[in-house]
Amino acid sequence: MPSSRPLRVGTRGSQLAVTQTGWVVDRLRAHGLDVDVQTITTRGDVRHDVPVAGLGQDGVFVRELEQALLDGRIDVAVHSLKDLPTAETPGLVIASVPERELPFDVVVGRPGTTLAGLPAGSIVGTSSIRRVMQVRALRDDLVVRPLRGNVDTRLRRLEAGDYDCLILAGAGLRRLGLADRIAEVLEPDAFWPAIAQGALALQTRADDADTRRAVTALDHPATHDAVRAERACLASLAGGCLAPIGGWARMDAAGVLQLGACVLEEAGGRVRRIVAEEVMMPSQEVSADSGAAALGGRVAESLLTKGAAEMLARVRAEASSG
């Protein structure tokens, strides 16, 4: 990163993406860096007329940002880490993962609204296949309808009476200062979040050592290890970020990393799910990096022995035929 110009940070143009990037930029500037923000439109931002899964591939919110990095138009891309495919793009690396926000999904509705307390036939808004399946697993008497758009758009649809409640990522609401809209937090084992939900990724070119060093100041090792374990599990399952897979890893005060994950499948009007959990003691692994990845692999292997491969194959076949 030449000292003659600012650090060029790229972001999507949604309100949440700009807010998240602003949080990152404020901290980079606090470390003495001159920063310039560039907004880049992604395909996922443009196509609101179809569910994300209908856009055909993982990475619909990140590819244009990655191309801007590869072309040298920006130095850092700020992503919601759950949007990044587990297969790293050649020439790019995740250089830093700041401390994670709330990793769980939440119910947004009138005060006191809970998933368990909704009247039968209530309309729940969400387009994530993982969320849809988990809602149906808990309450098959509810109606789940697709919902896309930025957070403001979704909240307006709720207020207009199109839905009785929404299922959203809690991290986004909290980052936008809308934590008061959260009626219920949905946590494992009942409701699993997306892999790496609530975490940000600062992506750089692999050969840009100066920029990598600059953004490392924002790295949060416990969060980085947790999402590394989650993403290793997802990669071992050959599941993309659109697959019905949830997971959550966390480091306790003693340095023990624990990972749980869930794979879902809906067939014959019923949802089947399998869950596996493992822990990594600090003394078990050579390094945190390799240990976290190995933990993810062990959880994935446990899920595979319980039938995850067949479940995911059927889900993919159904999606491709639809």
Catalytic amino acids?
83
Residue partners of 291: CB distance under 8 A and separation at least 6:
225, 257, 280, 284, 285
Distance, in Å, from the CA atom of 95 to the CA atom of 84, rounded to the nearest integer, reads 13
- Choose among 215, 223, 199: nearest CA to 93: 215
Burial string for 216-243 (b: 16+ CB within 10 Å, else e) reads eebebebbbbbbbbbbbbbbbbebbbbb
Output DSSP code: residue 55.
G
- Number of helices followed by number of strands (H, E) in the chain: 10, 13
Distance, in Å, from the CA atom of 54 to the CA atom of 242, rounded to the nearest integer, reads 10
Distance, in Å, from the CA atom of 250 to the CA atom of 232, rounded to the nearest integer, reads 14
The answer to whether the beta carbons of residues 78 and 28 sit under 8 Å apart is no
Output DSSP code: residue 134.
H
The 3-state DSSP class for residue 82 equals helix
The 3-state DSSP class for residue 186 equals strand
